[in-house]
Amino acid sequence: MEDILVPIVVVGILFLGLPWLIFHYVTQWKKNGGLTVEDEKLLDDMHEMARRLDDRLGTLERILDSQDPAWRPRQSVDRAREEEWRRDN
């Protein structure tokens, strides 16, 4: 009797339990896969805040450059590339 019960349980798990588990989580993933409206608004707000902070930092650097050109020790290649990127964007 025990020899028959083990294969039935294993077949039941493989052909019923495992596919149900996979389909359950695929369905949950599809249902919750996208951003909510609140998430999109928060992301937009954070992007706008980052843009404003970048503008403020650029303004401060221009003011400091005009008042004291030697306030930075020296510009590295990375810093020059960063400023070039800021001007382009």
Give the pLDDT of residue 85.
Answer: 79
Give the pLDDT of residue 16.
Answer: 86
Give the pLDDT of residue 2.
Answer: 66
Residues 11 and 74: their CA atoms lie apart, in Å, by 71
Residues 50 and 62: their CA atoms lie apart, in Å, by 18
pLDDT in tens, the chain (89 residues): 667 888 888 888 888 888 889 999 888 888 877 778 898 999 999 999 999 999 999 999 899 889 988 877 665 656 777 777 788 76
Please, what is the end-to-end C-alpha distance for the chain in angstroms? 75
Give the pLDDT of residue 58.
Answer: 92
Give the pLDDT of residue 48.
Answer: 97
Confidence (pTM): 0.47
Cβ-contact 74, 68 below 8 angstroms: no
Residues 86 and 46: their CA atoms lie apart, in Å, by 18
Angle at CA 51, nearest 5°, toward 69 and 78?
45
In the chain, domain spans: 1-33, 35-89
